[in-house]
């Protein structure tokens, strides 16, 4: 039978020609396998209800353990990733109409604009097309000398602020005319801004997309606003925690320490020889795997393959009640405690989530382990003989774990 060899998706995520040290992509778009625009649109009823169960299985069907890594080339076509991901990440109830989603989308855009404006009031560079890579306040909230003024006085130091427009002189001077900041939350947020800037310029510089200053500063804006919301959210969580006197909020996610511990136990069971070897090399704490868990293999894979892997994981872990967290955090946590699992159709869940529900372990005191922990274990298992034979140090372990 004739088989489609597939088309590379790298053209959607163009790499700068001078960057040679980039992992090769293995994901390929295959007709009939990769979720296409046509199939995606056909999964909606005329009013907009999505058959999420069918869509999910289209994305992950046939993927078991390390077979993901072999690349079965399912996944989502790059042209529709934006739309599909909105559902995979729980932005909407799959049982909503086109119109309802339009309204939600519109409302959220407005909400984002408000938050961004809030941030801009605190630090005027937000939304300006420029960003910082040097700190703007000290830890006790004293403003650090305006890096933009520094730029004016000494062009050699100009790396600190990245410009899009070079002639808006008046706004430049005003950029860091901060008073001493007393609000601790604001200080904490201001302290993250240059770190976000450093990540923005350093992380994905192999992509053509980020050659544009405009795209870099857009990313900086998004991350800065996100950091602001996160800082607010933490406060609410702490208040909730005190008010209710329980541990609900802290249990919604499994910390990285326990993830590493589980990884150690899993490896010990599935490959005791390998576990001993890693332990002898001084890697018994599995800290070398922290990066894989933290950025979900983003450093081990090409950009294109990372996206493929992520959508696979999201589809497998999909929980149809996810959207409740965004719309009604209160009711979502109530639901988690009370009737979770009863109200939602198991058919709508991803495979991994379904197994988790079936195993009956889902209750308020136990959040599911992220599937990534098992993925790391499977990569280690896969590379076991290579690691046993060749790894003489933890540096070799980090290198060899590239799938």
Partner 1 sequence: MDVAADDAFDEQCDYLFKAVLIGDSGVGKTNLISRFAKDEFRLDSKPTIGVEFAYRNIKVIDKLIKTQIWDTAGQERFRAITSSYYRGALGAMLVYDITKRATFVNVRKWLRELREFGGDDMVVVLVGNKSDLAQSREVEKEEGKGYAETERLCFMETSALQNQNVEEAFLEMITKIHDIISHKSLETKINGTSLNLPSGKEIHIADEVTATKQPNYCCS
- Binding-site ranges for partner 1 (CB under 8 A): 19, 133-135, 138-139, 144, 154, 156-157, 192, 195, 198-199, 202-203, 205, 256-257, 273, 276-277, 280-282, 285, 287-288, 290-291, 294-295, 299, 388-390, 392-396, 398
> How many other C-beta atoms are found inside a 10 Å radius of the C-beta of residue 367?
14
Least spacing, CB of residue 28 vs partner 1, in Å:
26
Q: Which is nearer to partner 1, 168 or 261 (CB)?
A: 261
Q: Which is nearer to partner 1, 205 or 402 (CB)?
A: 205
Least spacing, CB of residue 388 vs partner 1, in Å:
5
Least spacing, CB of residue 184 vs partner 1, in Å:
15
Least spacing, CB of residue 331 vs partner 1, in Å:
30
Q: Pairing relation of β-strands 7-8 and 28-29? A: antiparallel
Q: Which is nearer to partner 1, 289 or 371 (CB)?
A: 289
Q: Which is nearer to partner 1, 334 or 396 (CB)?
A: 396
Q: Is the Cβ–Cβ distance between 286 and 257 less than 8 Å?
A: no
Chain position carrying tokens 């003989």: 385
Q: Which is nearer to partner 1, 115 or 256 (CB)?
A: 256
| b/e map 122-154, b = 16+ CB within 10 Å | bbbbbbbbbbbbbbbbeeebebbebbbebbeee
Least spacing, CB of residue 283 vs partner 1, in Å:
9
Least spacing, CB of residue 160 vs partner 1, in Å:
8
Q: Which is nearer to partner 1, 19 or 208 (CB)?
A: 19
Q: Is the Cβ–Cβ distance between 25 and 304 less than 8 Å?
A: yes
Least spacing, CB of residue 110 vs partner 1, in Å:
29
Q: Which is nearer to partner 1, 188 or 213 (CB)?
A: 188
């Amino acid at each position: 039978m004739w088989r489609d060899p597939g088309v590379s998706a790298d053209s959607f995520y163009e790499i700068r020609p001078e960057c040679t040290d980039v992992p090769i992509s293995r994901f390929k778009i295959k007709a009939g396998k990769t979720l296409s625009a046509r199939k995606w649109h056909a999964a909606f009823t005329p009013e907009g209800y999505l058959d999420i169960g069918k869509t999910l299985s289209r994305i992950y069907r046939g993927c078991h353990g390390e077979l993901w890594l072999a690349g079965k080339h399912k996944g989502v076509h790059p042209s529709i990733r934006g739309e599909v991901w909105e559902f995979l990440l729980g932005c909407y109830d799959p049982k909503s109409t086109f119109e309802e989603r339009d309204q939600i989308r519109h409302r959220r855009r407005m909400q984002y604009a408000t938050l961004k404006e809030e941030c801009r009031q605190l630090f005027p560079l937000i939304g300006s097309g420029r960003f910082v890579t040097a700190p703007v306040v000290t830890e006790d909230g004293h403003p650090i000398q305006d890096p933009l003024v520094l730029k004016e006085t000494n062009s050699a130091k100009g790396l600190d602020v990245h410009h899009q427009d070079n002639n808006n002189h008046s706004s430049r001077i005003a950029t860091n005319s901060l008073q001493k900041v007393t609000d601790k939350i604001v200080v904490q947020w201001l302290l993250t801004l240059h770190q976000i800037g450093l990540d923005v310029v350093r992380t994905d510089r192999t992509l053509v997309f980020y050659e544009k200053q405009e795209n870099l500063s857009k990313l900086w804006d998004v991350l800065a606003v996100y950091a602001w919301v996160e800082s607010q959210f933490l406060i609410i969580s702490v208040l909730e925690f005190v008010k209710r006197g329980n541990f609900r909020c802290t249990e919604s996610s499994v910390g990285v320490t326990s993830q590493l511990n589980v990884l150690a136990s899993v490896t010990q069971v599935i490959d005791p020889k390998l576990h001993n070897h890693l332990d002898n090399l001084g890697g018994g704490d599995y800290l070398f795997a922290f990066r894989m868990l933290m950025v979900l293999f983003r450093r081990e894979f090409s950009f294109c393959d990372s996206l493929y892997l992520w959508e696979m994981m999201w589809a497998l872990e999909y929980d149809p009640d996810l959207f409740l967290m965004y719309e009604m955090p209160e009711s979502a946590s109530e639901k988690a405690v009370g009737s979770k699992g009863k109200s939602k159709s198991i058919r709508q869940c991803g495979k991994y989530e379904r197994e988790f529900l079936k195993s009956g372990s889902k209750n308020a005191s136990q959040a599911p382990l992220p599937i990534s922990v098992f993925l790391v274990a499977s990569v280690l298992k896969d590379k076991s003989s290579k690691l046993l034979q060749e790894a003489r140090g933890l540096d070799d372990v980090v290198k060899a774990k590239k799938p």
